[in-house]
Chain A
């Protein structure tokens, strides 16, 4: 049966067909949908763990217990999980273990574009790189087979254009009964094998030679691995490629010979040497780092020149194609023309556009976003703000302009602490989301308490992991599969992990949980906290604006035209529902504000900050509307 599947859906399907029964991950673009799809298959367990390291340890536990397991994460998530990644490369596994790293060349939604194939080389484990949805599914099955044959975790590395591209997939059979539940075979007794699984130095030194030998055997396996394929060509040009670049190679160079590496680590030395002998120009086409190119160079592979007396030529790659960003057929074509691989007639013209400066449309905090009030106030208070990763990262952008550092998940609190310890002359505010607090904020906050710095931490608690598409957090009772949380028998309610008690348990004395829309209260509390000698935490609580149920009866606000004098203060909120109207204030000649009723959720942040009471509150709008409808009835 054929079906159109995204790369992420195909990876999930492949894991299920392979009989994987445990999956864990942390949401992150472009990886998120892998786990969401996998969780819907019967007989499997899948969870959103609080962070990627926890997720990988969970998957490792399942693999040690003899079951097939996957861990999913975006590329930077593997940095968080790197400690686990490195030890499991040493121990090996019982059941197959596949770690999926979804890389983001061009940084469509990431802080860097690191090339995680490097991690496979670093840990001495194999790396598979699918080039389509079909390959994503098929190579997931390959990855499990390799994992168990060689007693190794396997890195399955995809990129945004694989994850979020859709193409046809021929589905395989459902898995044999290896799942969880009544019909599944019993899980074997957990191994008692400390020499293999207890990585104290005395055991680890004995494992290292095994790992090196494993890599040699894997390199021999790569020579005949069916995922490494030669597409014959006629032009004398030979291209070595992997992942999505393979598709661009086929499209732009229909006559070239192509060595398509479905497994980009370890490299098949003989296959590459033989391929090189069959062509008279050899190039590697790969996004980001010259990973394969350097490997080919280290093998000492060269190509015979056209003239027998001329020296042999090295492989080419990053001298032709960019090291930065992602490829496209156009980028490949244009660089190939420059390098003389294609004639200039291959150039594809773009239209001569009338020059016009178009208004940009960057992502913004949504109308009614509960984060807006905090950033408005932080901007007003002119404090340095150390931020974190989530929707609230958008607080850096004008007009809110209230975030001055942002590096990775969980960094903000510790960066603020370090700056304070360095004698930074201002009080630092760290801003972190609820999901990020669970991810990596807790140890950082513990450190602020124990080593005592006057960092003010704002936890923006919108009750959800919003940016990646509304995954539940441990504070919500909402889990990836239904009913995963323990239910308290005395109350019948799920066991929730509330944030404020954790903050208090860490030893923070000054804690306030406030309504994120209570502008004056938040301002007063922040002003108090900024005077304290010790650490403090403000939890700004309101569900995400896209979770509309809590606001079902709220109504759009209105600008009272006679009272608005166009002072522009409300524009500083950067709310997409607040528009500049065509109407000028007679006195100031400045445009008055207006509110787009289609976007406004009625959060009342603007009503509270307007100095002239020119924006209605919900109750006012209600009475106004009631009055109008009464009028109509008359």
Chain B
């Protein structure tokens, strides 16, 4: 198996690093060699955050070069756009429907890309685009902070639908890993959010 390259992006404070930690451990639990690389430091103060995760039989570099990302998981829409040049033409984009307005927009120096612009930019790179209403689905379950679990659920289903990992990673591995790496009190909620993300993904994928 050629390494499968993930790029997870978001805004400082969104939980991007925790999600990539879970993704790395899921790969390891599935018996794959895993490497993960992230950037800390000043990015935590509301800046752009990115994390690379690679699954494979043999993985050397922990980071992925531009044009080599197979799956982009974006927890924020503008950040999804920022990293598009990292993708190859057949890549899969999973984007959380959340907009966090940067100060460069509030001060009026820039405008946040409109929805049509965003979709056109996605389409210029790939046809495999999945949008997930993480905050909406998690909010209906009672905790908007579980949005990332919704996104991971969508990711899990998308990997299976697109047959990106063979044999597929079982839901059991995902749920056990998530439970191990998140606070026990949110276990049921994260589970429900993950399943919500899987179902939502199916709907969009069929459309």
Q: Contact residues of A with B, CB < 8 Å?
A: 4, 29-30, 108-109, 160-161, 164-168, 244, 247-248, 250-251, 328-331, 333, 348-354, 356-366, 391, 394, 398-399, 467, 469, 571, 574, 576, 578-580, 591, 596
Contacts and interface: CB of A to CB of B under 8 A. Distances in A.
4 nearest interchain CB pairs? A109-B41, A330-B65, A359-B110, A363-B45
Contacts of A251: 60-61
B56 to A, nearest CB: 11
Contacts of B66: 330, 348, 350
A168 B28 contact: yes
Contacts of B33: 167-168
Contacts of B204: none
Contacts of A165: 35-38, 62-63
A553 to B, nearest CB: 21
With a 10 A CB-CB cut-off, give which of A328, A574, A596 has the most chain B CB atoms.
Answer: A328
B64 to A, nearest CB: 8
Given A353-B85, A391-B45, 15 more contacts: A4-B34, A30-B40, A164-B40, A165-B37, A167-B35, A168-B34, A247-B62, A330-B67, A351-B88, A351-B126, A359-B111, A361-B78, A467-B42, A576-B102, A596-B101
Contacts of A352: 124
Q: Number of contact residues on B: which range applies?
A: 35 or more
B121 A353 contact: yes
B67 A576 contact: no
A109 B45 contact: no
Contacts of A357: 110
Interface string B74-94: 000011011011111100000
Contacts of B88: 348-349, 351
Interface in B87-117: 87-89, 101-113, 117
B46 A366 contact: yes
A359 B106 CA distance: 10
B68 interface: yes
A152 to B, nearest CB: 31
Contacts of A580: 105-108
Contact of B85 (A4, A351, A591): A351
Given A4-B24, A351-B125, A328 B61 contact: yes
Contact of A358 (B61, B113, B125, B126): B113
B48 A361 contact: yes
A29 B35 CA distance: 20
B45 A365 contact: yes
Nearest to B85: A350
A305 to B, nearest CB: 31
A356 B121 contact: yes
Nearest to A365: B45
A243 B112 CA distance: 40
28 contacts: A108-B41, A108-B42, A108-B43, A165-B35, A165-B36, A165-B37, A167-B62, A168-B33, A248-B61, A251-B60, A329-B63, A349-B89, A350-B67, A351-B87, A353-B121, A353-B125, A358-B82, A358-B110, A359-B110, A360-B102, A361-B48, A361-B102, A363-B12, A363-B44, A363-B46, A467-B42, A571-B106, A578-B106
Contacts of B59: 167
A615 to B, nearest CB: 15
B41 A351 contact: no
B40 to A, nearest CB: 6
Contacts of A160: 39
Nearest to A362: B47
Contacts of B117: 356
B112 to A, nearest CB: 6
Nearest to B125: A351
B152 interface: no
A362 B126 CA distance: 27
With a 10 A CB-CB cut-off, give which of B34, B62, B88, B117 has the most chain A CB atoms.
Answer: B62
A580 B126 CA distance: 34
B103 A576 contact: yes
Interface string B111-135: 1110001001100111000000000
B60 A576 contact: no
A364 B79 contact: no
Contacts of A349: 67, 88-89
Nearest to B122: A354
Given A247-B60, A363-B46, A358 B12 contact: no
Contacts of B24: 4, 166
Interface in B7-44: 11-12, 21, 24-25, 28, 33-44
B60 A248 contact: yes
A511 B124 CA distance: 60
Contact of B101 (A167, A247, A362, A579): A579
Nearest to A33: B40
A357 B109 CA distance: 11
B107 A167 contact: no
A359 B107 CA distance: 11
Contact of B47 (A164, A167, A361, A467): A361
Contacts of B111: 359
A164 B42 contact: no
A48 B113 CA distance: 44
B60 A161 contact: no
Contacts of B86: 350
A166 B63 contact: no
A366 B45 contact: yes
Contacts of A391: 45
B110 A247 contact: no
Given A4-B28, A167-B35, A361 B45 contact: no
B121 to A, nearest CB: 5
Contacts of A168: 28, 33-34
Contacts of A166: 21, 24, 34-37, 62
A579 B35 contact: no
A364 B21 CA distance: 25
B65 A364 contact: no
With a 10 A CB-CB cut-off, give which of A167, A361, A399, A576 has the most chain B CB atoms.
Answer: A361
A351 B28 contact: no
A399 B108 CA distance: 12
B94 to A, nearest CB: 17
A571 B108 CA distance: 10
B79 A361 contact: yes
Contacts of B39: 108, 160, 164
Contacts of B108: 571, 580, 591
A73 to B, nearest CB: 15
A359 B78 contact: yes
Contacts of A578: 106
A17 to B, nearest CB: 21
Nearest to A578: B106
Contacts of A364: 45-47, 103
B139 to A, nearest CB: 12
B67 A356 contact: no
A23 B133 CA distance: 46
A351 B46 CA distance: 28
Contact of B63 (A4, A161, A365): A161
B143 to A, nearest CB: 14
B58 to A, nearest CB: 9
B34 A167 contact: yes
Contacts of B125: 351, 353
A333 B65 contact: yes
A357 B113 CA distance: 9
Given A351-B125, A574-B103, A579-B106, A361 B62 contact: no
